[in-house]
Chains A and B, each alone.
Chain A
């Protein structure tokens, strides 16, 4: 069974803390994505990566950075967490080239910044 796992289901952090969200996929996918999900706004793309050490900004990259040192792992970093980053964070992966292929999602991390 294909799997995308995220390091935490729930996380509570304080304003100003550095936060790491980890995502691992076991499908040998080239593409990996980080989204945040907020009520009424749907899914918004933060960053994506199409290969190891490669990254592209999504629609809302401000306040975030990413790291992809290994193909199976994609990390989202909040350098200095703020309350407006309280959200559900979803990681996903997909094959690179086949246009009809879907994304596979992890279970999400609900982050609360106090």
Chain B
């Protein structure tokens, strides 16, 4: 069945450091892939998405590329800010259901 695996956290970085959060998936076909972000005390909100192989999703300085050959959708940002501190979820969409990874907590220190 479909599944998503993402790196365990927490990830602690200094401000302006480079960020990578790894995400790999198992799926039949070519599902759409998503990154969601959850700020403290809030629900999840969409950060970016990609709908087919080699697509790059981007938003707020974050990027992720849909890699079919490695079944990966790693999240990157060149220079993180304190305000990026949150929990990040990788997800894919099946027919009706969405499959989420367990989440990676990011803490950015000033």
B-binding residues in A (CB < 8 A): 4, 31, 33, 40-43, 45, 48, 50, 56, 58, 90, 92, 94, 96, 99-108
A/B interface sample: 10 pairs, CB < 8 A: A43-B89, A90-B43, A96-B96, A99-B32, A99-B93, A100-B49, A100-B51, A103-B98, A107-B42, A108-B42
Return chain B residues, CB-CB under 8 Å to A45: 97-98
Return chain B residues, CB-CB under 8 Å to A99: 31-32, 51, 93
Q: Is the CB of A42 within 8 A of B101?
A: yes
Q: Known contacts being A100-B49, A102-B34, is A42 close to B43, with CB within 8 Å?
A: no
Return chain B residues, CB-CB under 8 Å to A108: 42-43
A-binding residues in B (CB < 8 A): 31-32, 34, 36, 41-46, 49, 51, 89, 93, 96-98, 100-103
CA of A14 to CA of B36, assembled, Å:
33
Closest to A40 in B: B102
Return chain A residues, CB-CB under 8 Å to B97: 33, 45, 48, 58
Return chain A residues, CB-CB under 8 Å to B46: 102-104
Closest to B33 in A: A100
Least distance between A60 CB and chain B CB atoms (Å): 13
Least distance between B97 CB and chain A CB atoms (Å): 6
Least distance between A28 CB and chain B CB atoms (Å): 17
Of A40, A41, A50, A107, the residue contacting B43 (CB under 8 A) is A107
Of B31, B41, B96, B100, the residue contacting A42 (CB under 8 A) is B100
